[in-house]
Structure 1
Amino acid sequence: VTRLDDEALVNGIAQIAPFDPAAKQALLEARKLDERAELIVQLLQFFGRHDGDDRVTLQ
Structure 2
Amino acid sequence: MFGLFKKKSEVEKLQEKYKKIMEDAYKLQSINRTDSDTKYKEADDILKEIGVLQGKS
Q: What interval of TM-score do these two structures reach, taking the shorter chain for normalisation?
A: 0.3 to 0.5
Query: TM-score, structure 2 length as denominator?
Result: 0.44
Query: RCO greater where, 1 or 2, for CA within 8 Å and sep 6 or more?
Result: 2
Query: TM-score, structure 1 length as denominator?
Result: 0.43
